[in-house]
Amino acid sequence: MIFTEPRFLVFFLAVFAVHWALRSNGARKAWLTLTSLAFYGAWDVRFLGLMMASAGIDYVAGIGLGRTEHVGRRKALLAASVVSNLAILGFFKYYNFFVDSGALFLRWLGLEVADHTLAIVLPAGISFYTFQSLSYTIDVYRKKLAPVSGPLDFTLFIAFFPQLVAGPIVRATDFLPQLETKRRWLDVDVRAALVLFLIGFVKKGLVSDHLAPVIAPVFDAPLAWSASSTWIALALYHVQIYCDFSGYSDMAIATAALLGYQLPKNFWFPFFASGISEFWQRWHISLSTWFRDYFYFALGGSKGSSFKGMMVGSLTMMVVGLWHGAGWQYVGFGVLMSGSIIVSRTWGMLFAEGTWPRRASAFLGTPLLWWFLFWNWILFRSTSWDAGWAMQRIFFFLEDGGAQQLSPLWLLAVAGFFVVHWAFYKGWFARLRATNDWLFAAAVGSAAALALVFLAAETQAFIYFQF
Amino acid sequence: MTHDGVPSTPARPAPGLAGSLARCALALVAFVVTLALLRSVAVTPGGSSIGGRVDAWRAQPSEHDTLFVGTSHVLRAFVPDTFDAALAELGVEARSLNFGVQGATLLETRWLVRELLAARPDVKRVFFEYQWLIPQVDPENAFNPRTVYWHDLDSTRLAMERARHWGRELGDDLTFVERASERHSVFTLFERLAPGGERAAFQHLQHGLFELATVGRGKDVLKGLAGRGAARTGRVLAGDGYLSLEDEVAELARAGSTQNSYTARRARFLAEQGEYLASVDRLDAEERTFGDGEWMNGALVRVDDFELVQRIAREVAERGVEFVLVILPSQSCDRPFEERLMAELGAPVLRYNVPAQYPRLYDVEYRFDSGHLSAEGADYFSRLLARDYAALARGEGERSVAPAREDQP
């Protein structure tokens, strides 16, 4: 069930109405848990058990950690949680990739190996809820958080439907305290939530889903298209992937807000960053801060020499790349990101603030970032190695492909998108927050009608669902 | 909430329950009014190949009085110029237009006929291709615009009625066709428990609501605002609707597309002629056979819905328009049902799916692929049809005919 599907709107209206009609906090939490499990079951009911097993491991580990101060036992409990979660994730997400790659390597060495890959279905949202669940155990281990009081709260923390399948990755320290008190309708910023939902809906249903079928043929067969078409397709994908993912996050945050819960910010105008480090502070923020807090810091990235920090940062980006998917293109994505961290930090170490190279890099930062992201999008979006290589050649050497041509008018659409996006960035619409309630209600009604009419006729799955 | 530029709302006194409900009511009114406004400016749904042609039909002066409607089998089989000329030689005047639509379904064709006749009451006759009814909705195309667009109130009601009827008739045989990607969804598990007819009726209801709310019809609205609906006569109306597959393929080749679904079907037909000829033999040998479904999801149920066809014939006749049902030279037959149509429909039925009587219509030379006639075949068929219709018009033949001889028309 996708947020832009009309059936989701029916589902949400039912959840919303019953949630606020219930009087006790316990009943509301039970209702949200039940509906969240149903929401997950809308994808594949078989994997509910897997999600509950993953959550159960961390719930039990949390109880254990709350009952012992023995260092060895605490470490063992944490290790059991981390290893079992990563084992589940590894099996479902990476088993075939590693087995397949290993077999390829052995064949390259001239050894005969049988095919040991399995027909594994990737459970929706596994990368998101695994990391969310892990954050709980680690925070309880670090004594930043007391173990959760009961299984209902923990299940709701893992399964809460707005963020379940594609984030934002919510920290236990942010969410569990919200479950302790009954949510008050008066505390809900309804106007901001409705606007955010509409913005997310427009990004996903009206921008991303309309662009998807335009872009797909170019990525599928780049050699059939002219070089300029490749560049236009990359510019369109630049817009599409942002609108797709940030649109999902917007709607997730808004639906949670309408139920009285706050989810963390996941995007902050990432394409206006001036460099790769800043980009990751603005793109998929809940993932990058997760890796910062539980991986980079844990490996001592923030302590010791700048060189060590750079190496750990680089390693972190490699892992972030692999988090996105089980395939060599994601390894490549991680390598590029990792390399970019090394280059940017080295640049920072070589040239002091205020020197001309630093001023030049600050001036050229955003265009360079875009160029670099375009390169990464080739890896991210390519449907095969052959198509990926062909696109890389066109990208770097402007090799001409075929006769088919995407209309250059698409670039105007991209420019138009960024003008509006810039206006949001600069807060040009902030004055609208003072609109009176009646005008706002009429505007929301009309905007909802416009959004439905201009919705792409065929809903596309969210790009990040595959991760 | 300060996510990606959405500012928090300044604190203000919260409205009471009555105030909140009043604001919701205003939002609802604005929603409905905006939808109505957008709907009023939108061009006819169905995309340029259907809605665009309907709008062009509405806009053009009254020159055509004979319509051919149905699927791509119609689109590639009737050559209006040939038909009109052959008919004129036999003393019957007609100015015909081919309005075949690729992949059209029976209820979709009914919607189209209603639209066309409502716009132009001067039409004299409609040649309607016989089609089966598929009560279910193909889950892989469930919300494809082509599946949804014809669900106006009347069509939705009728689709639901027929789905329920066939649910009662077929029971468990009206199988549940699930979407492969949602096989293990909790929704699918619940859907499996529902009776087949009710499930199919509910799908049509959803489509009706989608159409009512104009969901996903932004392009139609923009075209309407730009005034492009009525202006688009396109190549198809200009050529009286007929375009041979040979010309279509040549046109695509000029546009750079040398490998496409048409060329693939043609290549398959040429490579598998043995199978084609065997299926032609089955048409003569068997009472019931089905050989036209390569495009279709095999899990969908096809039914011969006599009541529905009769209803469509009656609706057309009530407008003072002659209704002629044509069973095209297809690969399928259901002889007992066809006999019933010819005996009880109350309108002329012309049947051509009898290879023993019409061997040339099944000649490989007259076929582009297994389902469609070539340009030469279409020319021959149009003259054949003109001959048979002229006999009907002059009152020389039976009202329902399957002529025993295939004389050169």
Which of B216, B232, B248 marks a domain boundary? B232
pLDDT > 70 in chain A, percent: 99
**Banded pLDDT at A353 (limits 50, 70, 90):** confident
| CATH number of residue B117's parent domain | 3.40.50.1110
Q: Do B117 and B178 lie in a common domain? A: no
Asked if residue A144 and residue A242 are part of one domain, the reply reads no
| A324 classed as catalytic | yes
Within a domain: residue A464? no
Whether A177 and A194 share a structural domain: no
Q: Please write the tens of the pLDDT for every residue from B93-121.
A: 999 999 999 889 999 999 999 999 998 88
CA A37/CA B89 separation, integer angstroms: 72
Q: B13 lies in a domain?
A: no
**How many CA atoms, within 13 angstroms, populate the side-chain half-sphere of residue B59?**
17
Terminal-residue alpha carbon distance, chain B: 77
**H-helix or E-strand spanning residue B207:** helix B196-212
Contact B386, B86 (CB under 8 A): yes
Distance from CA of B178 to the nearest CA of A (A): 13
The answer to whether position B67 is within a domain reads yes
- Buried b / exposed e along A13-47 (16+ C-beta atoms within 10 A): eebeeebeebeeeeebbebbbebbbbbbbbbbbeb
* Res. B231: pLDDT tops 50: no
Structure-token pair, residue B306: 């006599």
Structural domain range at position A436: 190-459
Is B375 inside any structural domain?
A: yes
The verdict on B303 and B357 lying in the same domain is yes
The predicted model gives A383-390 an average pLDDT of 84
DSSP characters over B305-335: -HHHHHHHHHHHHHTT-EEEEEE-S-S-EEH
Q: Are residues B398 and B326 in the same domain?
A: yes
Max Cα separation, chain B? 88
- Residues B306 and B209 placed together within one structural domain of the fold: no
Element (H, E) at B221: helix B218-225
* Cβ contact, residue pair B35, A449, below 8 Å: yes
In DSSP notation, A62-91 reads: HHHHHH---HHHHHHHHHHHHHHHHHHHII
- Regarding whether A356 and A432 lie in a shared domain, the answer is yes
* Confidence tier at A341 by pLDDT (50, 70, 90): confident
pTM: 0.85
Same domain, yes or no, for A307 and A330?
yes
Provide the domain count of chain A. 2
Name B88's Cβ contacts closer than 8 Å, sequence gap at least 6.
B94
Residues B213 and B360 in one domain: no
Alpha-carbon distance of A420 to B28, in angstroms, equals 27
DSSP A399-419: ----SB---THHHHHHHHHHH
Residues A198 and A176 grouped into a single domain: no
Same domain (yes/no): B171, B109 = no
**Nearest residue, CB atoms, B185 vs list A41, A189, A459:** A41
Residues A298 and A368 in one domain: yes
Q: Is residue A340 part of a domain?
A: yes
Tens digit of pLDDT for each residue in A245-263? 999 999 999 999 999 999 9
Asked whether residue A167 falls in the same domain as residue A195, the answer is: no
Same domain flag for A212 and A251: yes
Which residue, of B210, B232, B254, is where some domain finishes? Answer: B232
Task: Evaluate whether residue B386 is within a structural domain.
Answer: yes
Strand partners, B99: B69
Do A390 and A313 reside in the same domain of the chain? yes
Please give the angle made by the CA atoms of A110, A111 and A117, to the nearest 5 degrees: 120
Does residue B258 share a domain with residue B363? yes
Q: Is the pLDDT of residue A451 over 70?
A: yes
Here the contacts of B12-18 (C-beta below 8 Å, separation 24 or greater) are B14/A186, B15/A437
> Domain residues for B333?
63-131+235-409
- Domain count within chain B: 2
- A326 and A177 in a single domain? The answer is no
Q: What angle do CA B79, B84, B90 make, to 5 degrees?
A: 130
Q: In degrees rounded to 5, what are phi and psi of residue B336? A: -60, -40
Whether residue B1 lies inside any domain: the answer is no
Let me know whether A128 and A236 are in one domain: no
Is A291 among the domain residues? yes
Of the residues B213, B232, B251, which one is the last residue of a structural domain? Answer: B232
The SS3 call for residue B301 is coil
In Å, how far is A39's CA from the nearest CA of chain B? 8
CA B362 to chain centre: 24
Lookup: tokens for B9: 């709302």
pLDDT at B2: 47
Q: DSSP characters for B88-154?
A: HHTT----EEEEE-TT--HHHHHHHHHHHHHH-TT--EEEEE---B--S--GGGTT-HHHHTT--HH
Which residue is listed with tokens 């309708």? A185
Domain boundary among A128, A150, A181: A181
Contact call for A41 and B32, based on CB within 8 A: no
User: At CB < 8 Å, which residues of chain B contact A?
Assistant: 1-10, 14-15, 19, 23-24, 26-35, 38, 143-145, 148, 184-187, 189, 210, 213-218, 221, 256
In eight-state DSSP terms, residue B179 is -
Q: Which residues of A touch B1 (CB under 8 A)?
A: 189, 192-193, 196, 253-254, 257
In a domain, A131, yes or no: yes
In this structure, the answer to whether residues A440 and A410 fall within a common structural domain is: yes
Q: Note whether B293 and B149 are same-domain residues.
A: no
Task: Give me the catalytic one of A19, A238, A284, A324.
Answer: A324
The answer to whether the CB of A85 falls within 8 A of the CB of A134 is yes
Nearest to A240 by CA among A423, A7, A6, A461: A461
Q: Is residue A68 part of a domain?
A: yes
Pick the last residue of a domain from A159, A181, A203. Answer: A181
Most confident by average pLDDT, A76-80, A183-187, B255-259, B330-334: A76-80
**A134, A157, A181 - which closes a domain:** A181
Residues A36-61 have pLDDT tens digits of 999 999 988 888 999 999 999 999 99
| CB-CB under 8 Å, B221 with A249 | no
Q: Is residue A376 part of a domain?
A: yes
